[in-house]
Structure 1
């Protein structure tokens, strides 16, 4: 009997040892690379589009190239007014001008390579685990498309630095700047879990003083940021398990949104402007969150799943993912959402899958508890991308913030950003399709309004 128990213990020990060795050997491998990365193609689509009440004829030349760790994407608009033949130049006015034709220029992959740098469109960027800055975009409008920069550099597997700057337009004052130094004290060890423990400290600051001259005078949506708007946070995380099939990460985050003195003074000096608020108590706000994220890959990349679940605790005057795409639509409005925001709780969930390297779909939801009784809004996001199936291909993205009723989740309005492209390949070099955009454009008075564009087109599409 004793011998039997000893043999059983030996077998169990061997199995455990093999599992530990298996985990350690495969720990440095990353089997989660998307089949939708590193594509090379050139497209130039000729079509007709309506912007506001004007009709334009022309094309957008959009090549994408990948050379090793380098990536390049361009977006060159050549649109001509159908009534007078003039070229539309609004996309190049203000700020960085023609540099907006660079949709992105990148080196490396974030959180995979020791050096990652990206210039251009910051859509989808997040800082750290995303509680402070997540679901971010600096390109919510054609007229004010910004060229930003994002970087993540790790030194000797121990010390690292993430940084995001929203707008390389150096006229005026500092735009949104976010930085997160992080430290992996055991990064050089070979101990699973222990070697991945990471401590981070985040800071964000914005002193945007953007103003738009117009027929009606000068207007601004940055009244509260020009004297400074800031936040800071701390986080800790670790990879609990990583092998060729599964990667499981845990994290914990604390964020504090500092009191915006300009907003506080405006509430005090102009109480009539805030009469619609049931509670005008306003000050610094903070929040706490902890979550798990899992990536699963079936054998031979047949099926990928990425899932995240996060429990959040909100203090007064706090909104999770405060610096998101809605922040860049109207910074003053975003700050005013903090007024009267009361202590509560919520969840954040994200689920994505990639099937047979042909279809990639992702969905996410940030949902406060008791949404109907809460003065906080939910956030919904959907992302779809396919390779050519038959001769059809689709690519789309949808985001909506400040939701108080999930029944309105897919109704397009001032809180939405959307893009859907459906194409049909005619032959090896030609395709036709429809490009739909719900974005923001400038009105005559200098303010921005939501608008939709439906652009049927035919054009060149070449893959390499």
Structure 2
């Protein structure tokens, strides 16, 4: 009996000691946990062939990386030549077969301009976003602007007491923008513990033209507030508890629109329904703006070789979690109405970014809810593990098995309007000469000859041979 009492006192003392350590020992900042790295960018000089939706183009690509101290500059000079052009058809095109007739296209020549790193007091990146997350990711998580050139800017006080993170999706045609501010009101340099690291944050992100097939629709807006407790902040790892609450305003409720039948000649997507070909037209009468809400309670862990996040989520019907994700630019307005239901949804979200060895980085994220809707991200990047071989791949899909007509695993591997896929394989034939094979599948927004904006499937296969370098 005395032995048990002694053990109880020992455990109490151990618990108090650990708690005291967590609350009072200040953090160190000699090291930063791994960051959410780009999965689909690199430098290259060469040429080859591109096959876009069955049409062949000669391809020349110059992709230099130029380090300038804390600055970094990357260019993406990609030119396609169409030998079969007739009459007034352009012979020289930009990447993806686009003509040189917009600011967005010209800005794509700049892959990125960067200063410092995301955790530094001042950081900015002008260029493409492969996997951008704002805050804890409840509103924007894994967002990509798909080769457009946007702006990501972080400004924070040197000891982390307050800061602002902002983004803009496309400098040539700005449509999606917003950011998050945070403050640690109790933080004191001389007394840095669990309570003084308590953090408050607020997020606002909007899309001012979510559905270009509808004239005069309201912008889509998402507003969030969050509270966080960085339990442990050390030189090699960080552990956070947090809660995010957000509301969304849909730009066009289903009851405030009518569907006009159309008969497209191909599989172009022109409406907010995935199984019909129609165009959304706003009625003259406006309806009350619908507001949906969502809440996520989570724990996040970041270390030198791993980032892990786990959340429990609950939403009202119609709310889309992490709506600005990798598929947002590809699928809006296709996803309006996907998440409509008769009751609140509950479910879990988990994410892991793991670097088991320096040559290999893995990404995985999965979410699932009680109405059987799921979303998946998978990414991998390998460099140097196999001699002369490099591999990059990214796949994402949402609303897996939601239609009920196909099984979960069948729908998971099928490429359709709910998915995006990119794979790049490099082989070093004779150093530094490389052969590169790329396959890409996604949807993109295009403008017809009649001036209407619509979505169409985009498939691109390219084979190139050229020179690659590493700084």
Asked whether 1:105 is paired with 2:113, we answer yes
Displacement of 1:154: 1.2
Distance 1:394 1:204, change over 3 A: same
Give the corresponding residue for 2:299.
292
Give the corresponding residue for 1:147.
149
SS in 2 for 1:335: coil
SS in 2 for 1:196: coil
d(CA) in 2 for partners of 1:370 and 1:269? 26
Q: Is the 8 A contact 2:165 2:181 kept in 1?
A: yes
Distance 1:341 1:284, change over 3 A: farther
Q: Is the 8 A contact 2:422 2:438 kept in 1?
A: yes
Distance 1:68 1:250, change over 3 A: farther
Asked whether 1:242 is paired with 2:233, we answer yes
Give the corresponding residue for 1:380.
376
d(CA) in 1 for partners of 2:141 and 2:212? 21
Distance 1:92 1:248, change over 3 A: farther
d(CA) in 1 for partners of 2:239 and 2:180? 22
* Number of residue equivalences: 420
d(CA) in 1 for partners of 2:128 and 2:343? 34
Q: Is the 8 A contact 1:317 1:342 kept in 2?
A: no
Asked whether 1:74 is paired with 2:75, we answer yes
Q: For structure 1, which runs of at least 5 residues remain unmatched after alignment?
A: 140-144, 210-219, 298-303, 372-376
Distance 1:113 1:380, change over 3 A: same
d(CA) in 2 for partners of 1:147 and 1:246? 32
Displacement of 1:136: 1.3
Give the corresponding residue for 1:429.
432
Give the corresponding residue for 1:391.
388
Matches within 5 A, 1:299-310: 304-310=305-311
d(CA) in 1 for partners of 2:32 and 2:75? 29
SS in 2 for 1:223: coil
SS in 2 for 1:365: strand
CA-atom RMSD in angstroms = 3.5
Distance 1:134 1:341, change over 3 A: farther
Alpha-carbon displacement from aligned partner over 1:154-201 (angstroms, at most 9, x marks no partner)? 13532221211222235xxx6222122211113333323234321111
Asked whether 1:252 is paired with 2:243, we answer yes
TM-score by length of 2: 0.79
Displacement of 1:25: 5.7
Distance 1:162 1:34, change over 3 A: closer
Distance 1:386 1:451, change over 3 A: same
Q: Is the 8 A contact 1:120 1:146 kept in 2?
A: yes
Give the corresponding residue for 1:183.
183
Q: Is the 8 A contact 2:331 2:418 kept in 1?
A: no
Displacement of 1:436: 1.3
d(CA) in 1 for partners of 2:417 and 2:241? 35
Q: Which has the higher helix share?
A: 1
Asked whether 1:452 is paired with 2:448, we answer no
d(CA) in 2 for partners of 1:222 and 1:121? 25
Displacement of 1:45: 3.0
SS in 1 for 2:106: helix
Q: Is the 8 A contact 2:327 2:420 kept in 1?
A: no
**Which of residues 434, 459, 469 in structure 2 aligns to 1:462?**
469
Asked whether 1:283 is paired with 2:290, we answer yes
Matches within 5 A, 1:354-365: 354-365=355-366
**Which of residues 167, 177, 185 in structure 1 aligns to 2:170?**
167
Alpha-carbon displacement from aligned partner over 1:263-315 (angstroms, at most 9, x marks no partner)? 23x624538989999xx998211010011111244xxxxxx222211100011
SS in 2 for 1:267: helix
Distance 1:22 1:198, change over 3 A: closer
Distance 1:36 1:339, change over 3 A: closer
